[in-house]
Amino acid sequence: MSNADLANLSDKLMLTTVVLYIVALVAYAADLGFGRRSAAVAADEKAEAKVLVGAAGAEEAVADALPGGAAAGEAVEADGPQGSRTDWARLAIVLNVLGWASHLGILVTRGLAVHRWPWGNMYEFMTALSFAAVTAFMVVALRYKARFLGAFVMAAVVIALGVDNIWLYDSAGPVSPALNSYWIAIHVTAAIIATGSFTVAGAATILYLLKSRAETSEAGVGGGVLSRIPSAEDLDRLSMRVTMFAFPIWTAAIIMGAIWADQAWGRYWGWDPKEVWSFVTWIVYAAYLHARATAGWKGRKAAILSLVGFGCLLFNFFGVNYMFSGMHSYA
């Protein structure tokens, strides 16, 4: 028996969350387009300028041309003009945090309404997955100063929540008896955390490919949006670090899913489509990490392999659930 009031509150919080994320997306985009550049980007540009100048005397001339000499020039590069530029970043972060809190409220009220873990169907799983992606982004932004990912991650989350509400919505209610198990809190939660993290890694990888192409073009990066994000090398490293975090969690999700399958269906592995594609995803990401660790793969080859893994992950979520029938079709 579900609580209609809490279920209704969860639906209203969904609308609030989407609105907050949309405005945060706009603020992140404005910060990326007009806001101040990060210290890392300024440092890269400064180093490139020194290489192009190539002489100490010329470097001094460049420094003298900046307001207040070299020291003041460094501050202008790193921080940029004060005022509205800084406000875009602050607005984006505040809206992001408010949206995250509202998003958490969706899951909490939905769970309380149905008296179970709130990821028993596609609508709930997509909601939780989007929450995990936002949480992973916030951690990465804080840990690695990667605020520049905000516009891209928020765009993906807004699209996901739009699809969730338009095509995947399911009223609050009971689920299949097979899902009434404590394993849903372990297996599915691990899959959600890993998928959210892989999403952030995928965004960083796509940015890496764009930045790398811009850096190797004859015209260089130029003064566009890509000039306001870190170097391709930094993006490549960031993607790898997030993938290294997500991969063992995905591994644990597969193992725990096998244990749950044995308890529910009497076998650990049955080559169900969901099981197969979860394993295929694991193999691709394992190959990506192995190639980087042993063969020294970096750059474009590693990025393409990472995106293949992300594509397998998305197909496992969307394609398998709607194109194949199997033991996981109840989701």
Q: What is the pLDDT of residues 174-228, one digit of tens each?
A: 887 777 888 889 999 999 999 999 999 999 999 999 999 888 875 554 557 788 8
Spatial distance between the Cα atoms of 27 and 21, rounded to a whole number of angstroms: 10
Residues 6+ apart with CB under 8 A from 274: 316, 320, 321, 326, 327, 328
Q: Is the pLDDT of residue 295 over 80?
A: no
Overall domain count for the chain: 2
Residues 6+ apart with CB under 8 A from 21: 95, 96, 99, 134, 154, 157, 158, 161
Q: Is the pLDDT of residue 299 over 80?
A: yes
Q: pLDDT for 124-171, tens place per residue?
A: 999 999 999 999 999 999 999 999 999 999 999 999 999 999 999 999
pLDDT of residue 38: 53
pLDDT of residue 15: 96
DSSP state of 36: P
This prediction's pTM? 0.84
The answer to whether 183 and 252 are in contact (CB under 8 A) is no
Spatial distance between the Cα atoms of 258 and 237, rounded to a whole number of angstroms: 32
Q: Is the pLDDT of residue 85 over 90?
A: no
Q: Is the pLDDT of residue 91 over 80?
A: yes
- Does some domain include residue 66? no
Verify that 198 and 91 share a domain, yes or no: no
Spatial distance between the Cα atoms of 115 and 174, rounded to a whole number of angstroms: 9
Three-state DSSP class for residue 166: helix
- Does some domain include residue 44? no
Instruction: Render the burial of 112-123: b for 16+ CB within 10 Å, e for the rest.
Output: bbbebbbbbbbb
- Does some domain include residue 271? yes
Size of the chain in residues: 331
Verify that 128 and 276 share a domain, yes or no: no
- Does some domain include residue 138? yes
Which runs of consecutive H residues, i.e. helices, occur in 217-272?
232-265
Verify that 10 and 107 share a domain, yes or no: yes
Q: Is the pLDDT of residue 121 over 50?
A: yes
Verify that 184 and 159 share a domain, yes or no: no
Verify that 222 and 298 share a domain, yes or no: yes
Query: Of 140, 170, 200, which one is at a domain's C-terminal end?
Result: 170
- Does some domain include residue 59? no
The residue with greater pLDDT, 54 or 325, is: 325
Give the tokens for residue 230.
């870190």
Three-state DSSP class for residue 213: helix
Q: pLDDT for 306-323, tens place per residue?
A: 999 999 999 998 888 888
Q: pLDDT for 240-257, tens place per residue?
A: 999 999 999 999 999 999
Verify that 12 and 146 share a domain, yes or no: yes
Verify that 152 and 191 share a domain, yes or no: no
Verify that 209 and 318 share a domain, yes or no: yes
Verify that 140 and 224 share a domain, yes or no: no
Quick one: pLDDT band at residue 78, thresholds 50, 70, 90?
very low
**Mean pLDDT for all residues in the chain:** 84
The answer to whether 137 and 207 are in contact (CB under 8 A) is no
Verify that 120 and 12 share a domain, yes or no: yes
Spatial distance between the Cα atoms of 157 and 318, rounded to a whole number of angstroms: 15
Verify that 225 and 273 share a domain, yes or no: yes
Question: Using alpha carbons only, what angle is made at residue 244 by residues 188 and 279, rounded to the nearest 5 degrees?
Answer: 50
pLDDT of residue 305: 95
Q: Is the pLDDT of residue 303 over 80?
A: yes
Question: Which range marks the domain in which residue 227 is found?
Answer: 176-331
Rounded to an integer, the average pLDDT of 21-47 is 74
Query: Of 135, 170, 205, which one is at a domain's C-terminal end?
Result: 170
- Does some domain include residue 196? yes
End-to-end alpha carbon distance in the chain:
19
Query: Of 170, 205, 233, which one is at a domain's C-terminal end?
Result: 170
Verify that 128 and 156 share a domain, yes or no: yes
- Does some domain include residue 61? no
- Does some domain include residue 54? no
Q: pLDDT for 43-77, tens place per residue?
A: 554 544 444 444 444 444 434 444 444 433 333 33
